[in-house]
Amino acid sequence: MGQIFVYVFISCLLYLLVAVSFRTLYLVLKFIHIAHAISIALGAYFSYLFAIQLSLPLFLSIPISILFSIAFMLLLNQLVYNPLLKRRVEYWQMLIASLGVYVVMQNVISLIWGDNMLSFRTWPIKEGYQILGVFITDVQSITIIVCLLLVGLSWLFLERTSIGNKIKAVSSNPELAGIVGISKEKAVIWSIIIGSGLAACAGILIAADTDMKPTMGFNWLLYGVVAMIIGGMGKLRYLVFGALLLASAQHLSAYYLESKWMNATAYIILIVFLYFRPYGFSSQPLKKAEI
Amino acid sequence: MDYILHLGILICIYTILAQSLSLVAGYSGQISLAQAGFYGIGAYVSALITVNLGFSVLLTLPLAMILSGIIAYIVSKVAVKTVDDYYIIITLGIQVVIFSIMNNWQEVTRGPLGIPRIPSFSIFGLEFDSKISFLLLSVGFVVLVWFILHHLTKSPFGRVLRGLREDEVYTKSLGKNVGNYKVVSFVISGMLASIAGVLYAHYISYIDPSSFTINESIFILSIVIIGGMRKLKEIFFAAAFLVILPEALRFVGMPSSIAANMRQIIYGLALILVIYRMGSKQSIPSAS
């Protein structure tokens, strides 16, 4: 039973990381940016490219792959999202466009690296350490530390730095922010750097623990989005609640039923939860339009 | 020749799916990614009942429609409480739930092994086992669905849906129960989609969960968007185009392993382009 707590804790942190990364983008973009799944997958696949195919050392290839993923998403923003936004495309249409981007990129990845599971693990799989009666592996402990660190840092960034405040200003009222001289484009660029960077880290952590598939980003992104919806758009602590609820429901279902039902549990939790609390824990609606 | 008939039947099935989705996505403005789920419910209900109990299609078709109607009702009751972004995630969620039931409830659905030996479509002893007869049958269903949707969207009901799509608050201020209209349109759409599933199951005679994945839902949504949201005739052409596209790629000489990916890349790009073109039509900035 203690082992489940470890699993719940790790999943919760990973969901939280994905949810935070997604939320940073959602604050300014205001649509479900499905192509965010690509930055999760790209983080993992770039590390595979650098660490295995080009056989660079791991400590070099991980930062490079994070940078490459960020650069790619910035390019995507420049080439696809900006022209669309200039034509005053509505938010739901942006969602469809980002779905299109996701479909294209996911297939490009599977054309380049194939559909098989890959792993950039070069180290042998070791038996975990035993702490207080539970087993925990190296990768898992690194995951825990990195997740806590990144979530904390991104929170500090959003709350304490001037760029973070600008992002929040653009999020709450783009026109007014423009009047006082805060450029929306800069805020978008910063949030893409932070959001995609965090997502790429999440992708690398996931791939280091298990393995990677071209479609891996989509599932993880959806878990993050579900955690965000359950939590609501309010403060960070609500996101933690959301991620915790999702992770514990999934692992309990895996414990009592079978692990194959984990996916369905996530969405059943979402649907049941939304029936009672349509705006999540924080009861704060995503957008102002409320019918 | 058989091959062309086969493509014709597929086009019919996708036309039914996309046109039924158009009622939800195009008319009442709810982007749904659950269409492949209802398609799957239709296929599985009909296949399981005919294989295990030997009932006629005449009975399984209404049963499949009722079951997907009930599920659509439950889902949309939750979904109407929320706004657009949540809506798509909820429909996506129900798609994943339906898929994992088909894939994991192995005692009933046999999971990834699928259901083989589904009897062919027969009504009153009339068997539709040749390709040409099945094509005629599917065309018949397409016409039926088309007829229903055409009249539904021209009716006062359809006018309210269109109003709802344009301005939800305004429609509500006219005293229309917006939520109810959304639920009803979603239920009708789900029921019509299950017809396509029944056709598919009895045509292919073997089904497995891989035909009803989230990618299939995205594909159906692309047909609707490329066809132009609420233009039923154009949706038919879009379905024909997207079904024939991979075959055309194969004729060009592309290996089938790449062709599957290329097909998705092409329709992904088409989605982006269509959205890009949609933008130019709305020169008036939306009121905020």
The pLDDT value recorded for residue B286 is 45
CB atoms within 10 A of CB B178: 20
Residue A136, strand partner residues? A129
The pLDDT of residue B70 is above 60: yes
Reference A124, options A138, A140, A106; nearest CA is A138
Please list every residue in chain B whose beta carbon sits closer than 8 Å to the beta carbon of residue A97.
271-272, 275-276
Please list every residue in chain B whose beta carbon sits closer than 8 Å to the beta carbon of residue A81.
none
pLDDT band at B26 (very low <50, low <70, confident <90, very high): confident
Residue B81 near chain A (CB below 8 Å): yes
The pLDDT of residue B178 is above 60: yes
- Domains of chain A listed by start with CATH number: 2-118+126-282 (1.10.3470)
Nearest to A275 among B29, B78, B279 (CB): B78
Q: Cα separation of B129 and B109, whole Å?
A: 24
Mean pLDDT of A170-174: 82
The pLDDT of residue B282 is above 60: no
- The SS3 assignment for B119 reads coil
Q: CB A278 to CB B265 under 8 A?
A: no
pLDDT band at B280 (very low <50, low <70, confident <90, very high): low
Mean pLDDT of A172-190: 84
Alpha helices in chain B (DSSP H): 2-22, 35-52, 57-79, 84-104, 106-109, 131-154, 156-166, 168-173, 178-204, 214-227, 232-252, 256-281
The pLDDT value recorded for residue A70 is 92
Q: If you ran DSSP here, which 8-state letter would residue A257 be given? A: S
Mean pLDDT of B69-80: 87
pLDDT band at A52 (very low <50, low <70, confident <90, very high): confident
Residue A129, strand partner residues? A136
B268, closest residue in chain A (CA to CA): A100
Q: What percent of chain B has pLDDT over 70?
A: 96
The pLDDT value recorded for residue B263 is 82
pLDDT band at B281 (very low <50, low <70, confident <90, very high): low
The answer to which of A119-123, A139-143, A208-212 has the lowest mean pLDDT is A119-123
In order of A264, B29, B108, B159, B253, the CA distances from B101 in angstroms are 8, 28, 10, 37, 38
CB atoms within 10 A of CB A131: 11
Reference A126, options A113, A141, A111, A116; nearest CA is A141
CB atoms within 10 A of CB B268: 23
The pLDDT of residue B21 is above 50: yes
The pLDDT value recorded for residue B92 is 87
Partner A, chain B 183-212, Cβ-Cβ below 8 Å: none
Nearest to B271 among A99, A229, A278 (CB): A99
Count CA within 13 A, CB hemisphere, residue A73: 32
Contact present, A82 and A28 (Cβ < 8 Å): no
Residue A129 near chain B (CB below 8 Å): no
The pLDDT value recorded for residue B287 is 42
Residue A131 near chain B (CB below 8 Å): no
Selected residue of B178, B224, B275 to mutate for chain A interface (largest A Cβ count, 10 A): B275
Mean pLDDT of B243-260: 79
pLDDT band at B283 (very low <50, low <70, confident <90, very high): very low
Residue B256 near chain A (CB below 8 Å): no
Reference B89, options A262, B97, A216, B139; nearest CA is B97
The pLDDT value recorded for residue A62 is 87
pLDDT band at B288 (very low <50, low <70, confident <90, very high): very low
Question: What is chain B's mean pLDDT, rounded?
Answer: 84
The pLDDT value recorded for residue A235 is 76
The pLDDT of residue A187 is above 90: no
Q: Cα separation of B187 and A50, whole Å?
A: 50
Contact present, A114 and A42 (Cβ < 8 Å): no
Residue A226 near chain B (CB below 8 Å): yes
In order of B15, B221, B224, B238, the CA distances from B234 in angstroms are 10, 14, 9, 6
Reference A194, options A82, A51, A28, A78; nearest CA is A28
Residue B93 near chain A (CB below 8 Å): yes
Q: CB A89 to CB B275 under 8 A?
A: yes
The pLDDT value recorded for residue A176 is 85
The pLDDT value recorded for residue A282 is 66
Q: CB A108 to CB B276 under 8 A?
A: no
Per-residue pLDDT tens digits for B132-164: 888 888 898 899 988 988 888 888 888 888 888
Residue B259 near chain A (CB below 8 Å): no
Q: CB A89 to CB B269 under 8 A?
A: no
Please list every residue in chain A whose beta carbon sits closer than 8 Å to the beta carbon of residue B278.
89, 93
Per-residue pLDDT tens digits for A103-115: 999 999 888 888 8
Nearest to B83 among A93, A266, A287 (CB): A287
Q: CB B271 to CB A96 under 8 A?
A: yes
Say how many CB pairs under 8 Å bridge A and B.
147
Selected residue of A23, A34, A104, A279 to mutate for chain B interface (largest B Cβ count, 10 A): A104
The pLDDT value recorded for residue B260 is 79
Reference B224, options B140, B286, B149, B120; nearest CA is B149
Q: Cα separation of B20 and B193, whole Å?
A: 6
Selected residue of B31, B32, B74, B89 to mutate for chain A interface (largest A Cβ count, 10 A): B89
Residue A276 near chain B (CB below 8 Å): no
Higher pLDDT, A210 or B15: B15
pTM beyond 0.90: the answer is: no
Please list every residue in chain B whose beta carbon sits closer than 8 Å to the beta carbon of residue A271.
75, 78, 90, 93-94, 97
Question: What is chain A's mean pLDDT, rounded?
Answer: 83
Backbone region of residue A132 per phi and psi (left: phi > 0; alpha: psi in -120 to 50; beta: other values):
left
